[in-house]
Amino acid sequence: GPDRGWPGSRIGSRPSRDLSPALLMPAISVIIPVHDLGPYLAETVQSVLDQTCQDFEVLILDDGSTDPETCALLESFERPKTTVFREPNRGLGPARNFLLAKARGRAICALDADDLLHPEYLERTLAALDANLELAFVSTWLETFGIEERVYRPSSCDLETLLAECQIHCSSLVRREVLEALGGYDEGMPHMGGQAIAARSCPRSCSATAGAGWTRWASSAPRVRFGASSGATSSPSTKRSTASTR
């Protein structure tokens, strides 16, 4: 078994060795950094496992958690399609980039450890990306619940709007080639991941497309669910000519 206490060690499911690498390449990598959010993690991962689209992998990074409950959970956390890594604490941005380097999917969903996905989220956002190869990412409506209940329905994600107001959530489905062309997640803006990616990859205008919504939730903030809706927004990529690997 792995040396669970060492940085970079892996815990969890492993692919069967008798399958070819091509068959093991998922369409989507869901990356989940965790720092002392153990009480929410199982529910978050289950929202991924319950997706109508099952062409994914789940990569979790224990980003130097010190909470005993979180540490105990991650020590033995095993779920289908899921791998757990452990590293010293470096923060959200570096944690996402660590997982991005491990990811095998052609699209990336950066899910916070206390967020949830609607069951159709991956199916509908991936369909939008596949339907238009010029799209860099697909974002959606979101619903908060818990201490605050509302549905947020962004109407557009053109560059001018993005610079004035964050219209894109961090779990937007992003083409891997776009993230790599941008140098990964902006470690200087870890809590504005969606807006940072959109502003860096967005041309002068963006198109609207049907997609799914989601919900985020946190222990000290409103919980959020990303659920099915007709209000997804997406952005044409300006990096397609120079970033053709994702």
Which tens digits make up the pLDDT trace of 87-101?
A: 999 999 999 999 999
106 vs 241, higher pLDDT? 106
Residue bearing the bigger pLDDT, 201 or 181: 181
Q: Cα–Cα distance between 176 and 238 in angstroms, integer?
A: 14
Backbone angles phi, psi at 60, to 5 degrees: -115, 135
Give the up-direction half-sphere exposure of residue 164: CA atoms within 13 A in the CB hemisphere. 7
Question: Helix, strand, or coil here: 135?
Answer: strand
6 pLDDT more than 90: no
pLDDT band at 28 (very low <50, low <70, confident <90, very high): very high
Q: Examine the pLDDT at 111 and tell me if it is beyond 80.
A: yes
With 0-12 CB in 10 A as exposed, 13-18 as middle and 19+ as buried, what is 41? buried
Q: Which residue has the higher pLDDT, 34 or 230?
A: 34
Higher pLDDT, 179 or 61: 61
The residue type found at 10 is: R
3-state secondary structure of 84: strand
Per-residue pLDDT band for 137 (boundaries 50, 70, 90) equals confident
